[in-house]
Amino acid sequence: MNLRTRSVLDQIVHQVLPVTLCLGLLIWLRGSNLGVAGLGPNSTTVAVGFLLIGAFVGGKLAARVGLPRITGYLLVGVILGPYGSALLTTDMMAARSTLDGVAVSLIALTAGGELKLDWLRRQIGRLAIITAFELTTVMVGVGSLVLLGANLFPFVPAGDWSHALIIAFVFGAIAVTASPTVTIAVIADTRSDGPVTRTVLGVTILKDVWVIILFATAITVAKNALGESGAGNLGLTLLREIGGSIVVGVGFGIGLSQYLLRINREVPVVLLACCFTIAELSTAFHLEALLVALTAGFWIQNFSRADGNQLISAIERVSLPVYALFFAGAGAKIDLGSIGPILPLVLLTVVVRAACVFAGTRLGMRVAGVEPQVRRYGWLGLISQAGVSLALASIVARAFPGWGTEVQVLIIAMIAVHELVGPIGFQYALRKSGEIGKATSPDTH
């Protein structure tokens, strides 16, 4: 038996066969009408289990063909989810939101812990310049596309320039967003470290804060200009979310660092409890869980005597299942079918946004004087979009029920593309810049 045949046989026995067995069980379960019949939280665990089985196989296959594992997880989610094969229904996924909240908090805690103040102090000027250039270029570029190509976008009123300008402003503000979770997950998965890794992570996080301010401004201006009620309130609320998240994050950071310093037992358990609390508090008080956890991680790493690496190490022990669950779940929310009718428009917007990201980042990096490989590949790490954009789009839909809903549809379609393409681009950048596998384990620090 030659090597190739053996490898194919191995795959059949160790992947196809068990997946078929599990698939058969799930299909039997759904068809049997026994038990809770797929309704409510009692059916979520089996959905999560099958999603993770799919992620295990999907991640391996993606890695084999040189794609990021995250792309594999996302695709598995798309295939198994309610909009794909509908093997896992919306009902079955209902109780996943708590797990999502915990996952986002864990991912953000790692990101905060990875941001070293020394490095930030040295690089903050550069990061600010790159962020400013990228942000402005994307906002102006994508906004101009909406404004100048008004007849292509069904939600832009023909001939009403002031109205069109406001919609372009809001749309541009959302187009600016990137996905810190995708960035962190790709870095963790590929164990990368180096100038490209750190610059992309720094810019993504800095942008995450600025985007919320920019969006708050855009939505306030839009509401005022269009005579909608509650204009000031919404802007203030969004700004309060940032301030509140940072304050609460510092609180968690102090609490966790004191725990690490004084008690330092059951660290993984306390971390899980903390992330659960962050997720629940953020939902209850309309804070951004990502920002809360990020601030907490940053505080522990940079402002406390506690060993931040110990924290990262505790999270990294369970990071793969967390990422797999989070991204496969995110994939299950992607409705590729909705892209069909507006595919040309989606592709046009995606291409223009990518061109703007490229131009803005390159320009910013040239002005900031960063290393050549960062200048060459850094922009590829800023393509992905996910949760933040989705949240902002739903705010627009709620605030402007007419055109806002149509904007939301287009944004969701764009996110679907960016979510799938973004990790591939970033991993390519990391590979080309030779930073994959360069990260040292926190334990060895």
Which residues in this chain contact another protein in the complex, by CB under 8 A? Answer: 10-11, 13-15, 17-18, 21-22, 25, 29, 34-36, 38, 40-50, 52-53, 55-56, 59-60, 94-99, 266, 268-269, 272, 280, 317-321, 324
Least CB distance from residue 56 to another protein, whole Å?
5
Least CB distance from residue 107 to another protein, whole Å?
15
Least CB distance from residue 324 to another protein, whole Å?
6
Least CB distance from residue 63 to another protein, whole Å?
10
Least CB distance from residue 392 to another protein, whole Å?
24
Nearer to another protein, 60 or 116 (CB): 60
Q: Please, are residues 138 and 357 in contact by the beta-carbon 8 Å criterion?
A: yes
SS3 20: helix
Residue by residue, what is the 3-state secondary structure of the chain? CCHHHHHHHHHHHHHHHHHHHHHHHHHHHHHHCCCCCCCCHHHHHHHHHHHHHHHHHHHHHHHHCCCCHHHHHHHHHHHHCCCCCCCCCCCCCHHHHHHHHHHHHHHHHHHHHHCCHHHHHHHHHHHHHHHHHHHHHHHHHHHHHHHHCHHHCCCCCCCCHHHHHHHHHHHHHHHCCCCHHHHHHHHHHHCCCCHHHHHHHHHHHHHHHHHHHHHHHHHHHHHHHCCCCCHHHHHHHHHHHHHHHHHHHHHHHHHHHHHHHHCCCCHHHHHHHHHHHHHHHHHHHCCCHHHHHHHHHHHHHHHCCCCHHHHHHHHHCCHHHHHHHHHHHHHHCCCHHHCHHHHHHHHHHHHHHHHHHHHHHHHHHHHHCCCHHHHHHHHHHHCCCCHHHHHHHHHHHHHCCCHHHHHHHHHHHHHHHHHHHHHHHHHHHHHHCCCCCCCCCHHHC
Least CB distance from residue 411 to another protein, whole Å?
27
Nearer to another protein, 25 or 247 (CB): 25
Nearer to another protein, 22 or 165 (CB): 22
Nearer to another protein, 12 or 152 (CB): 12
Least CB distance from residue 181 to another protein, whole Å?
18
Nearer to another protein, 18 or 434 (CB): 18
Within 10 angstroms of residue 64's Cβ, the number of other Cβ atoms is: 10
Least CB distance from residue 260 to another protein, whole Å?
16
Nearer to another protein, 17 or 86 (CB): 17
Nearer to another protein, 22 or 348 (CB): 22
Least CB distance from residue 227 to another protein, whole Å?
37
Least CB distance from residue 287 to another protein, whole Å?
18
Nearer to another protein, 179 or 313 (CB): 313
Spatial CA neighbour of 76 closest among 89, 67, 85: 85
Nearer to another protein, 39 or 343 (CB): 39
Nearer to another protein, 144 or 310 (CB): 310
